[in-house]
Structure 1
Amino acid sequence: MRPDLLKGHLDTLLLAVLEAGPQHGYAIIEALRAGSDGALDLPTGTVYPALHRLERAGLITSEWHTVQGRRRRAYRLTAAGRVALTEQRAVWDQFSAAVTAVLTRRSWPATA
């Protein structure tokens, strides 16, 4: 999938993955890959800056954990993040329906 198609949607996708519960960065990347049947195979250089941006915006929070001797940062949704995800899903549903309507239409009204 072309990276430019993700513009404006990456934050929503990250929030959706975190809705299931706290996850570290690599697990988030894997969830996006698995959930999209491999279509969203995003590099860390795309995902981590977006996570940091979402954290600065107060939509997610993070804390460090040590797992098997390695430090990992786990991210989770905040209450504001849950609200934002709900709003962004509604916007996506409207946008997706409009695009689908145009792309599947087979005839157009005549114009003058």
Structure 2
Amino acid sequence: MNECKGNKFLVCSEKHADSIGDALDFNTCVLSDYERVPDKGLIEECADCANSEEGLELLISSVERSVAANANASCTVRVDNKVWCIRDNYEWKCPPGRGVVENWVREIEKLSGDGEDGTGYLYLAR
């Protein structure tokens, strides 16, 4: 499967799954071992979507959101609508301290109101 076709499959699953959690579980399963996907109906819907005009439109929309967010590398991690860290060519490119998972978790907890100061918010863009 080429990368664009795979990406269409992933954005279609996001649209057709019952929740973002189901879409994440589904995508993780498909990426690691598609035979473990329990919901045959969902995989058929996603396959139909990925092979249709709808899949192409969803992929274009996803790319447009990435461009608008200035996410130009294969993995751009954003926290609070700001670039936190970038992984490109198998290498993390981060400001000091941001390449550490614990610091990323601490920042998300702070923004979600679960941090030490109890303030902030967490916004998950789809």
TM-score normalised by the chain length of structure 1: 0.32
Higher RCO, 1 or 2 (CA under 8 Å, sep at least 6)? 1
Higher strand share: 1
